[in-house]
A and B are shown apart, each in its own frame.
Chain A
Amino acid sequence: EIVLTQSPGTLSLSPGERANLSCRSSQSVISSYLAWYQQKPGQAPRLLIRGAYTRAPGIPGRFSGSGSGTDFTLTIHRLEPEDFAVYYCQQFGTSPLYTFGQGTRLEIK
């Protein structure tokens, strides 16, 4: 089973700053199989990035994904107030087919 470990658990930043969220896999992941989601309280997750790098339709350009192999990063280049939320990475593997990281909480400093 592939385990995804996200860090930090909580990230405290101010609007306008840049956020770097890490997702590390216990085994190498094909980039096409890595996605990122944003979840706000009481809401369903929202797809941000698919295939490690490709923004989903309607996602602002300040969100970008990078990385390969076992290390992936979600960067939010200039934080807006609406960006403070929990972020999850997700990968497609074997058994189970899909796993999520435990999440990074991005909070206002």
Chain B
Amino acid sequence: QVQVVQSGAEVKKPGASVKVSCKTSGYTFTGHYIHWVRQAPGQGLEWMGRINPNDGGTKNTQNFHGRVTMTSDTSSSTAYMELSNLKSDDTAVYFCAREGGSGFHFDYWGQGTLVTVSS
């Protein structure tokens, strides 16, 4: 069965970087895009970007002004999202999610990784 497991919670200082991992299993890793979505405390869902594990191609929203880097490792079926120059309003739960086979939706989600940015 499909499983998506993310790395644990992180506490970072402003200006630092954080790298969240998303390990998948139970399907062909290169056959589905992986997306990243974040949720600030008490807020809604914000799409950040996606990676094609087949070729490493990425697309992301302009909202992060080049601070987001998404990568993948096909040998371990793991995707990564690194967010740099952290600010206090980057405090959020970060989810990775697999894009469904027919596209345009997210069918399997990781459990979420809480990133807290605090001095």
Contacts and interface: CB of A to CB of B under 8 A. Distances in A.
Interface of A: 32-33, 35, 37, 39, 43-47, 50-51, 56, 88, 90, 92, 95-103
Interface of B: 35, 37, 44-47, 50, 59, 61-63, 95, 97, 100, 102-107, 109-112
Given A35-B105, A45-B109, A47-B105, A100 B47 contact: yes
A19 B69 CA distance: 40
Given A32-B103, A97-B50, A100-B47, 7 more contacts: A35-B106, A45-B45, A51-B105, A56-B107, A90-B106, A95-B62, A101-B44
A44 B44 contact: no
A103 B59 CA distance: 24
B109 A102 contact: no
Nearest to A102: B44
A45 B104 contact: no
Contact of B47 (A32, A47, A56, A98): A98
A95 B59 CA distance: 10
